[in-house]
Amino acid sequence: MKKSIFFVLITSLLAFNLGFGQANLLNARVPQEVGINDELANAVMTKPIAYGYVDDRDVLWQKTIWEIIDLDERINFPYYYPTINNGNLSNNRKSLFRVLMDGISNGEITEIYATDYFNEKLTEEDLAEVLELRRLSPEGISKQNAGETVTEDDYDIYKIESDKVVQYRIKGTWYFNKRLGEMKYRLLGVAPVAPDVSTLSQGPEAMANALVPLFWIWFPDARETLNKHMVFNTRNSSQPVSYDMMLNARRFNAVIYKEENVYEDREVKEYIYEDALRQLLESERIKSTIRDFEQDMWNN
């Protein structure tokens, strides 16, 4: 009898989790009912976990670093896929780039900047110049030279979409909170990196040599938007995680390419030339310096 009850409970729990993975999947009478779930909607609409207030006097030590998240690494795939939002997988599954762009389009994300120091704000018109290029096709040029009317069909349009984003650059600060007695990390900004839009017509080699950060987003401003969108959980699809939780928990692999320093915050590649191995070792050295500070606090 006890075994039967235990089996029923486990079966019910698994069914609940599976239904939560793709909402109402097990109860839908018609395909249109898949995805309709009030509990899931309420969970998604909750606000992100608020950061606790940190008094400047409680910050004993801090260091700001810049890192690269390479989307070619398997651990970082959840930020890259799906590259095409056609609704076949799920209306809720979007790449990080698509989530950011949708948030900008509907006005939820407004703190958009040209640099990683957040001192030059961008408008949607500015973004359009960065993300899209309209160029007359050879046929259009011929028509123009012949004095004929040029139409929209005579233009070749090149646009940065999710599949073109190959990296993300992030900026954050590690700090030691003496009140809590522990090291903490605060993410400040995120920038999608893709080939310059002017190179999209020149082939893969030209695109690979022209990677640029498209824009920088002040991360605290984007948290509510990122919290509404779930990331596919490769280990258990019934337990998705929001982009906000993923990024704040640092569930990605990244390489440090710059730290704040007296040399005008120069990048690692500026003082270690054309030596990828030594640049990687320097990145690890910076990471070790941060990690060891907290250990040394208790060893001295």
40 with 167, same domain: the answer is no
What does the pLDDT read at residue 32? 61
d(CA 65, CA 257): 8
With respect to residue 110, please indicate whether it lies within any of the assigned structural domains: yes
d(CA 223, CA 221): 6
227 with 292, same domain: the answer is yes
d(CA 259, CA 283): 9
- Global pTM reads 0.83
Range(s) of the domain holding residue 13: 1-45
With respect to residue 137, please indicate whether it lies within any of the assigned structural domains: no
Residues 6+ apart with CB under 8 A from 106: none
With respect to residue 152, please indicate whether it lies within any of the assigned structural domains: no
Residues 6+ apart with CB under 8 A from 22: 34, 35, 90, 237
With respect to residue 237, please indicate whether it lies within any of the assigned structural domains: yes
Q: What is the chain's pLDDT, residue by residue, as a tens digit (300 residues)?
A: 444 443 333 333 333 343 335 666 666 666 666 665 555 555 555 788 899 899 999 999 999 999 999 999 999 999 999 887 655 555 668 899 999 999 999 999 999 999 999 999 998 889 998 999 888 887 888 887 888 787 777 788 889 999 999 999 999 999 999 998 889 999 999 999 999 998 888 888 888 888 999 999 999 999 999 999 988 887 887 778 899 999 999 999 999 999 999 999 999 999 999 899 999 999 999 999 999 988 887 775
- Strand pairing partners for 186? 173
What does the pLDDT read at residue 188? 97
61 with 38, same domain: the answer is no
Angle of helix 219-227 versus helix 96-105 axis, rounded to 10: 100
Angle of helix 96-105 versus helix 124-131 axis, rounded to 10: 140
Q: Is 88 helix (H, G, I), strand (E, B) or coil?
A: coil
Indicate the number of domains in the chain: 2
237 phi and psi angles, rounded to 5 deg: -70, -10
40 with 90, same domain: the answer is no
215 with 174, same domain: the answer is yes
Tell whether the torsion through CA atoms of 212, 218, 222 and 226 is positive or negative.
positive
Q: Is 84 helix (H, G, I), strand (E, B) or coil?
A: coil
73 with 38, same domain: the answer is no
d(CA 247, CA 67): 13
262 with 286, same domain: the answer is yes
98 with 186, same domain: the answer is yes
55 with 31, same domain: the answer is no
Q: In the chain, count H helices and then E strands.
A: 11, 11
34 with 62, same domain: the answer is no
What does the pLDDT read at residue 11? 38
With respect to residue 138, please indicate whether it lies within any of the assigned structural domains: no
27 with 176, same domain: the answer is no
d(CA 130, CA 217): 15
61 with 112, same domain: the answer is yes
d(CA 34, CA 20): 11
What does the pLDDT read at residue 257? 97
